[in-house]
Structure 1
Amino acid sequence: MTLERKIAAAFKMSDEAWLCHANPWSGWTRFTTVLPLLILAIWSRVWLGWWSLLPITGAVLWMWLNPHVFPKPRSTKHWISKGVLGERVWLNRDRVPVPQHHQRVPDFLNGIAAIGGVLVVWGLAVLSVWGVVFGYTLVTIGKLWYLDRMVWLYEEMKNVNSEYRSWLY
């Protein structure tokens, strides 16, 4: 079982949830709001003290709820939708192999995002604006490049697998 499948299971990502998450509103709001809200909520401990647990809880709740609150999209032909579908293909790579040229790059890009995540955590721990901003920038670059790679992966794999093809409408 891939790490991504374990994460998807923790988020209760059923077939229905994946389709809802392929809604551009879900994909873009998750991408653009989850980490900034979490950063702001954690930084708010400076002003709110223990009360910062409320916005932190709200940010974590939004992260978990986001893939479930939007309806299925009218179309999955949007770039972000294909990125989400590609993530689904990627997490399934132990069952349906992906082409060789896709096997290492996603892990590398997730590594860039992970390094950024470590910098964000460090920046939040020591209240370094530059640590948070630089880390967030790395997370964003890594994730956008990863999503672009997932679009490419999906575009290739939809022609190989009828289930994957059925996701595009």
Structure 2
Amino acid sequence: MIFHHSKFEYDESDLALFAKIAINVRLAFYYIHVMTRREQMDFTRFAEKLMAMDDESWARHSNPWSVYTRFSILPLMSLAFWSREWIGSYSLIPILLSFIWIWLNPRMFGVPAKTNNWASMGTFGERIYLDRKINPIPDHHILPTIVLQIMSGIGLPIFIYGLYSLNIWALVLGNMWIIVFKAWFVDRMVWLYNDMKDTNPQYLIWLKS
């Protein structure tokens, strides 16, 4: 059988491993937080720099196909890591491809002709949120956005544990947890864009009906 019974259950060693992973992930987030604060950034800005997003990349990422297919990243990564059960060391190939997909996704699709939709406006809101130190955003968006990012991050150690141990339940929970809060984050960014689009001529240029 592909899935072994032991991988569907938690034992003491599993829980100990999960605790270690959670601690290490928390330390990693703390390190990133310290480093990004030193550069007066936040984690979202850090991720943008890591992805080397420029105006052209953002314009392409506003394509709804780019936004919706981005939700496939975690499931594809899960399959890639699980493939070591089927193809052994050759699983490095799909694992590498899954990481390439993360970088390629915002750049793969063309600039959309119309952006008057939920997905496109979500990317516009994210750009506005990233530039909030230059162009302040309404206070009622700041705390909810931070909370959504934290809630999404809580699912990360669960997801990592699922990848490491090939625990199907941890993988499913981690995927669903992160994707749900990511979608909620995008929805909040749509709200932010609608609140801010009339405050800057550049924001209105992004919107194409």
State yes or no: 1:122 paired with 2:161. yes
Deviation at 1:78, TM superposition (A): 1.1
> Could you tell me which residue of structure 2 aligns to residue 9 of structure 1?
49
Task: Tell me: CA distance 1:111–1:128, structure 2 relative to 1, closer, same or farther (3 Å).
Answer: same
Corresponding residue for residue 200 of structure 2 = 161
Match of 2:142 among 94, 103, 106: 103
Q: Is the aligned partner of 1:79 residue 2:152?
A: no
Tell me the equivalent position of 1:23.
63
Between the aligned partners of 1:2 and 1:115, the Cα distance in structure 2 is: 17
Q: Which residue of 1 aligns with 2:172?
A: 133
Distance between the aligned counterparts of 2:163 and 2:49, measured in 1?
A: 28
Unaligned 5+ residue runs, structure 1? Answer: none
Secondary structure of the 1:159 match is coil
**C-alpha deviation, 1:46, in angstroms:** 1.7
Aligned residue identity for 1:83: G
Letter in 2 for 1:60: F
- Comparing 150-159 with 9-18, greater Cα deviation is found at 9-18
Where 2:140 maps in the other structure, the secondary structure is helix
SS of residue in 2 equivalent to 1:72? coil
In structure 2, stretches of 5+ residues that fail to align are 1-40
Indicate if the aligned counterparts of 1:85 and 1:167 stay in contact, CA closer than 8 A: yes
**Whole-Å separation in 1 of the counterparts to 2:171 and 2:145:** 23
Q: What SS class does the counterpart of residue 103 from structure 1 fall into?
A: helix
Q: Report the TM-score when normalising by structure 1.
A: 0.95
* Distance (Å, rounded) in 2 between the aligned partners of 1:109 and 1:57: 29
Which residue does 1:145 correspond to in 2? 184
Superposition TM-score, scaled by structure 2 size: 0.77
Q: 8 Å contact 1:23–1:70 — kept in the other structure?
A: yes
**Matches of 1:7 and 1:58, distance apart in 2:** 19
Quote how far apart the aligned CAs of 1:9 are: 2.1
Could you tell me how far 1:5 is from its partner in structure 2?
Answer: 2.3
For 1:126 and 1:53, locate their aligned partners in 2 and report how far apart those are by CA, in whole Å.
16
- Aligned residue for 1:50? 89
CA contact (8 A) 1:41 1:55 kept: yes
| Identity level (%) | 43
